[in-house]
Structure formats: structure tokens, C-alpha cells
Amino acid sequence: MSSPIDQNPTAPPAKAGPSASPSVIPEFAPVPEGRPRRRYSVVGTGHRAGMYIDALRGEHADVGEIVAWCDPNPGRIDYYDGSLGLPRYAPKDLELMVKENRVDVVIVTSPDVHHAELVDRALRAGADAVVEKPLTTTAEGCRLITDAVAETGRDVVMTFNYRYAPRNSSLREVITSGRIGQVTSVHFEWVLDTMHGADYFRRWHRDKANSGGLLIHKSSHHFDLVNWWLGDSPARVFALGGLKFYGAEAAAQRGLGERPERGTGVAGDPFALDLRQDPRLKALYLDSEHYDGYRRDQDPFAPGVTIEDNMSLLVEYAGGATMTYSLNAHSPWEGYRVTVNGTEGRAELDVVERGFIDLDEQGQVVLDPSATHADSTDDQRPQRDRLLVQRHWGRAQEYPIPAGIGGHGGGDAILLKDVFRRDLRLGDDPLSRAAGYLDGVRAVAVGIAANRSLVSRMPVDVADLGLGVDLT
């Protein structure tokens, strides 16, 4: 059966040894003189929004400008706005914001549960949208966005930054070159350590109604990578998993004893996040929580956790390939391993983002729990990314990976160039990294099906989800 997006070529590899293509690091033309800047608004001014705000105030200020804020919490707007005095709006006034400020693009960095509604309203108000992953958390959200795109003709950009990480782009290059033949199966293991992984159980993500669980919020990154690597769409999903480590019940089973309600002010606890120690987190959350009552530093073992921390999936793709996938959120190290088997060989990507978690003198971890650049050096498990390619009856060869700079394996900086300067790219992207709403639907389709499978304990066909679009 052929793949619905693009065939995995089976052309023989080049006779020379493997080399990284310059297409992994794209180039862009200078901004034409006199070109007006695009007008952006930011909806949801939490920590994640900072990446886009910093970009539009820094490297990409010549192509775009922020003209309005939208958030129910005025304290968070205050942090980013400073003395600029830009117009600010509540979410209920999004349409008014677009109209009054002639907004070209709405950047959606709100909690996941609100993505679909905000994108739908932005498009219908006459703006394009840039959306943080995941696109949405439900099949209903997929239908809402699909209908809005069809009826308005507006553009939706998905910010799948992991596509742009040079190591992941290099694997895409290997697969599409035909070096390992037609892909038959993928094994994908991702581990989050007890600093980054625990953080999902402190924040609003801990409630599945807000985030869809890690299979939507976190794994949509991973499922998008596989969809993109294979040029294929998911067709059937079976999932097992549960809450095994975090949450009140698991804590009681392990005899952890009484736990604090929150991390700020707690000393000597590696699971406690003290917001006072990070100026940005303090301003965005601790100093602003009196506006809405949101606590960013909840104890990961406190009651109320409704998401899983251990998940295992089997996924069948429309083109015939299969994937085994696992996600663990309480590993002592952080990173991932991907194995791609093909009819002519095998590719293996091994990534260590943080080898271990180093505690300070008070027994606590470094500040920003999701910042893997705050890594610890481990001689036995050093930070690295390595891509091996081995054809049948041949020796394994290491495939060069260009150096990446910045977050998400170097993907953030390249993504931001593509988001804000896509029309200035020199030539087409042979790796097709730019993602739209259909890519977002394909990614969350796996998580939505997996969540249903966790309940039914049966395989779920993606075609039965009612996503509003035929992915095959």
C-alpha cells in the first residue's frame, strides 16, 4: 500500500560515505528595503510565549512586531509589556483585538484546552495563526479548526520545533534518501527525567482536561516526528499505561509520607520547585497568582493528577509501517532513542539531553525544570546525539549531524526563522519541515486514539475518531 503523503524512496545510496547536507541548516535572504513589518498579537503570556516574544523583540524585529497582548492574567502581561504600554485584552475580546490593532497573525500559546477555540476565532476574525503544539486536545477541536480553515482560507502554522533540530532533520534526510530502503518499522523510546518530567505534574498539565495528558501535550512532538520521517499517517493505535510514579496514590504506596502542597519555600526536596529562585518564573507565576489563583509549583505527588506517567503504544501507519513507542516521565536521565528498520538497512538515533540530575547543596535541582541546557556532565552517559546508518551486509557508519544552537536540540532558532521569514527562504526546503494544521491533526490523532485505547483497552482506528478530515 502506498503512503498517503509521500513515498519513501528506494533509490540506492550514494557510493561515497555519508555526509550531512547543507539543507539541514537553511539560508534566508535579507529583508527588502521598505517592506512593512507583520503585526502580531500574543494570546497566552506564560513561560512558553517568551520564545516568540524574545524573537520578535530581537533577531526578527525587522520582519514583525507585537502590537497587542491577550491574557486573563494582567500580571503576566505586565512582565512582558514592561513600559511599552501595548493594548491588552481579555480572551473574550479576541475579535476586537484583531480588528482594533489590524493584527496579521495571532500567536497562540495558551493552555492546550483553549487552542482550538482561539484558533477558530482568530481565523474568523481575519488573522492567520501560529500555534504551539499540540494543535488541540480533542477530535472536536480538530473539526473546529478544520472547518475554520476551509471556510476562511486563512493560514495556520504549527510550531513543531523538533523537526528543525539538526539531528532529527538528519534522520529525515537518511530516510528520504533511500539509504535504508522502504521503512518497515520504528521503535521510539523517550524518557523524561525527574526534573523535567516532574514539572508536568506541578502545572496545569496535571489535569487531563487541560492538556489531554502527555500523549497529547508532549508526545504530539514525537508522533509528528514519526509522521514526518515516514511521510505517512497513523491508521490504528493500541495503548497501555497509567500513573505509576507521581500523584497521591503512588506516593502513598511508596511510603513517601506527608508532602508539601507547593514547592516554594521548601528546602532539601528534589521535587520542590521554588519559584523565588528564578526571576522569570517568579514574575510570571508567584507574583501573579493572586489574580487567578494558579499555582505553578504544585507538589507532583499532591492529589488531583489525572494524567499518565508511563505509556506504551503500538501504532500502524497507512503505508504499512508500524511503530512501538514508550514514554516514561520519571527517568534518572533525559533523552530518546529511535530505531528505523528498512528493507535495505537500519538507522539508529541516540540522544542524551541530560545525563543525570545534579542537586545543589540544599538537595534541590537547578531552576527551570524544562531547560535541558542546564545539563549535568556524566562520563558514563555524556550529553550527545549520534546517528548510525547500517545497510545490509555493510558496516555501520556514523552520519554527521550539524551543530545546533539553542533550545530543543537547536530546533528553536531554525524554527523561528521559518515562522517569521518563510517567504525569505532561499529555495524550497527539501526536508519539508514547515508544518500546517493537517500536520497538527496527524500528530494529535495518535494521542487522541491512544487516550481512547487506554480506556477501552482495545485498538482504535483513527478513521473512527471524527477528526473532520480524511488523513489517508
Q: Closest Cα partner for 219 from 304, 320, 328?
A: 328
> Where a domain ends, among 113, 137, 158?
158
Residues 91 and 196 in one domain: no
> What residues have CB less than 8 Å from 440, skipping those under 6 apart?
131, 133, 134, 135, 136, 145, 156, 158, 220, 224
Instruction: Please report the pLDDT score of residue 80 as a whole number.
Output: 97
Provide the whole-model pTM. Answer: 0.92
- What is the number of structural domains in the chain? 3
Is residue 25 assigned to a domain?
no
Is residue 469 assigned to a domain?
no
Residues 315 and 358 in one domain: yes
Residues 99 and 130 in one domain: yes
Query: Phi-psi region for residue 468, left (φ > 0), alpha (ψ -120 to 50) or beta?
Result: left
Residues 274 and 382 in one domain: no
Residues 109 and 150 in one domain: yes
- Sheet of strand 435-436, all strands in order from the earlier edge strand to the far edge: 88-89, 64-70, 38-43, 105-108, 128-131, 156-158, 435-436
Q: Closest Cα partner for 354 from 375, 379, 332?
A: 375
Is residue 117 assigned to a domain?
yes
Instruction: Please report the pLDDT score of residue 24 as a whole number.
Output: 65
Residues 77 and 128 in one domain: yes
> Where a domain ends, among 101, 133, 158?
158
CATH of residue 312's domain is: 3.30.360.10
Residues 110 and 41 in one domain: yes
Is residue 413 assigned to a domain?
no
Is residue 2 assigned to a domain?
no
Q: Closest Cα partner for 299 from 266, 267, 259, 253?
A: 259
CATH of residue 92's domain is: 3.40.50.720
Structural domain for 207, as ranges = 163-246+305-406+435-464
Is residue 12 assigned to a domain?
no
Burial of 111 (0-12, 13-18, 19+ CB in 10 A): middle
Instruction: Please report the pLDDT score of residue 6 as a whole number.
Output: 38
A 10 A CB-CB count for 268 gives 10
Residues 173 and 287 in one domain: no
Per-residue tens of pLDDT for the chain, all 472 residues: 333 333 333 333 333 344 445 456 778 999 999 999 999 999 999 999 999 999 999 999 999 999 999 999 999 999 999 989 999 999 999 999 999 999 999 999 999 999 999 999 999 999 999 999 999 999 999 999 999 999 999 999 999 999 999 999 999 999 999 999 999 999 999 999 999 999 999 999 999 999 999 999 999 999 999 999 999 999 999 999 999 999 999 999 999 888 999 999 998 899 999 999 899 999 999 999 999 999 999 999 999 999 999 999 999 999 999 999 999 999 999 999 999 999 999 999 999 999 988 877 766 665 555 555 545 667 788 888 999 999 999 999 999 998 766 665 667 888 999 999 999 998 888 999 999 999 999 999 999 999 999 999 999 999 999 999 999 8
Question: Rg (Cα) of the chain, in Å, rounded?
Answer: 22
What's the CA gap between 319 and 184, in Å, rounded?
9
Is residue 337 assigned to a domain?
yes
What are the CB-based long-range contacts (under 8 Å, 24+) for 170-173? 170/20, 170/24, 170/387, 170/399, 170/400, 170/401, 170/402, 171/229, 171/338, 171/340, 171/347, 171/349, 171/387, 172/228, 172/229, 172/431, 173/20, 173/21, 173/23, 173/24, 173/431
Residues 458 and 374 in one domain: yes
Instruction: Please report the pLDDT score of residue 102 as a whole number.
Output: 99
Residues 371 and 280 in one domain: no
Query: Phi-psi region for residue 320, left (φ > 0), alpha (ψ -120 to 50) or beta?
Result: left
**Upper half-sphere CA count for residue 80 (Cβ side, 13 Å):** 32
A 10 A CB-CB count for 283 gives 16
Residues 313 and 361 in one domain: yes
Residues 78 and 185 in one domain: no
Instruction: Please report the pLDDT score of residue 17 as a whole number.
Output: 42
Helix 74-81 and helix 49-57: axis angle, to 10°?
30
> Where a domain ends, among 141, 158, 175?
158
Is residue 366 assigned to a domain?
yes
> What residues have CB less than 8 Å from 155, skipping those under 6 apart?
128, 129, 436
Instruction: Please report the pLDDT score of residue 16 as a whole number.
Output: 36
Instruction: Please report the pLDDT score of residue 455 as a whole number.
Output: 98
Instruction: Please report the pLDDT score of residue 167 as a whole number.
Output: 95
